[in-house]
Amino acid sequence: MSRATHPVSPEELMAYLDGELALGRARECAVHLEQCADCQSLASDLRLVGLQMNAWQVESAPESLKASITAAIERHQGASPRTKGVWHFLTKPLPRGAVWATAGVAGLVAVILLYESSRVVTHSAPAVSSSLVEVSAPPVPLPQPGENSQTANTPSAPMIARTASLSMVVKDLEQSRAALDGILRRHGGYAAQLQSEAPEGQGRTLTATLRIPAGQLDLVLAEVKKLGRVERESQGGEEVTAQYVDLNARLSNARNTEQRLVEVLNQRTGKMADILAVENEIARVRGEIEQMEAERQGLEHRVAYSELQVELKEEYKAALEVAPPSEGAQLWNSFVDGLRVAADSLLGFVQILASCAPTLLLWGLILFWPARWLWRRRRVGAGAKTSV
């Protein structure tokens, strides 16, 4: 891949991930990293290498080997006031800057282990340089995954913020709530939020956001599920390793910058304005550091405490269903319906009448006299004819 267009060299990108880049440059790097797929892939490669190196472990040595090593050490050093130290060395990571004697012993261990194991990537080479002896020696004290082997920048295992949600129907809400409290207490969790509702015409509900220590989540889930019938369940996990590593890198960069600024402040005897400018800068960087630390703690908390959303619904006691009616009852029902229809139609007729009555009355009054006059004239006319 061509890197001609990248504002950041691959080495700089690596230094950024290691928290070894100056703050200004680190910011450019962070911005570029967000946009550039090539660099993202390189960064993930680098992180992977770090993670894998930290996860490496050598299979535990057989007891006989330990015995022979102890014997060799005793031969090597005469009487053994150091034996305890050697065991300490075998089980714990070698502290930085170990004494030369330990380095020599460690070299011996490395040689023996090299014969024992057929690993491809070995840590010991034919003495590269004198300063390397203490480094190349110990394949034994490689950090174990479970151990406290988190380095400043690379967590040994992927960090995953787990979430789960449960929706359940329970018989008795009060009882379930008490049980839920008991579960929380037993597993060292706590309720971040809890809400209870009792709407009319529906069952009561309880929604809660619980925080459970990550290792206990599965146990808690199993216990909560026993409270009732599970309607819906979902689980998820967000991998935050990359976010965490980036944050650590930025934090480390900011700390370096702060240190340099403090040094500048201590050494320079410049103009007042310069000193003030440096102090302002220090205040700004410290603010950034605090913000990032809070962010990091939040992230760690999310990983350490899984989030569990619980929704408990009380079984709603709906109105009792009536058994299907018998034939007689059906007939009676139809008759009653018929009566009701008849009454309705009568009422409708009366209503129509009532609504039309004023109009009819009005026209009746208006047309009464002419009609009567016409009627009489016809009767008179008819009487005249008959009399003629």
Q: List residues binding another protein (CB under 8 A).
A: 10-11, 14-15, 18, 20, 45-46, 48-50, 52-54, 56, 96, 119-121, 123, 125, 128-129, 131-132, 135-136, 142, 151-152
Identify which of residues 93 and 213 has a Cβ nearer to another protein in the complex. Answer: 93
Q: Which amino acid makes up residue 118?
A: S
Minimum distance of another protein from residue 10's CB (angstroms): 6
Identify which of residues 72 and 242 has a Cβ nearer to another protein in the complex. Answer: 242
Identify which of residues 9 and 202 has a Cβ nearer to another protein in the complex. Answer: 9
Q: In what order do the strands lie in the sheet with 160-170?
A: 190-197, 205-213, 305-314, 160-170, 229-239
Q: What dihedral do alpha carbons 168, 173, 175, 180 form, nearest 10°?
A: 50
Minimum distance of another protein from residue 224's CB (angstroms): 39
Minimum distance of another protein from residue 125's CB (angstroms): 5
Q: H helices within the chain, ranges in order? A: 10-17, 23-35, 37-55, 63-77, 83-91, 100-116, 133-136, 173-187, 217-225, 241-267, 272-304, 327-387
Minimum distance of another protein from residue 36's CB (angstroms): 17
* Sign of the torsion formed by the C-alpha atoms of 315, 316, 319 and 321: negative
Minimum distance of another protein from residue 25's CB (angstroms): 13
* Tokens found for residue 14: 């690596």
d(CA 150, CA 152): 7
Identify which of residues 263 and 274 has a Cβ nearer to another protein in the complex. Answer: 263
Identify which of residues 23 and 72 has a Cβ nearer to another protein in the complex. Answer: 23
Q: Per-residue DSSP letters for 163-231?
A: EEEEEEEES-HHHHHHHHHHHHHHHT-EEEEEEEE--TTS--EEEEEEEEEGGGHHHHHHHHHTTSEEE
Identify which of residues 112 and 135 has a Cβ nearer to another protein in the complex. Answer: 135
Identify which of residues 126 and 201 has a Cβ nearer to another protein in the complex. Answer: 126
Minimum distance of another protein from residue 296's CB (angstroms): 18
Minimum distance of another protein from residue 32's CB (angstroms): 17
d(CA 128, CA 136): 9
d(CA 70, CA 86): 8
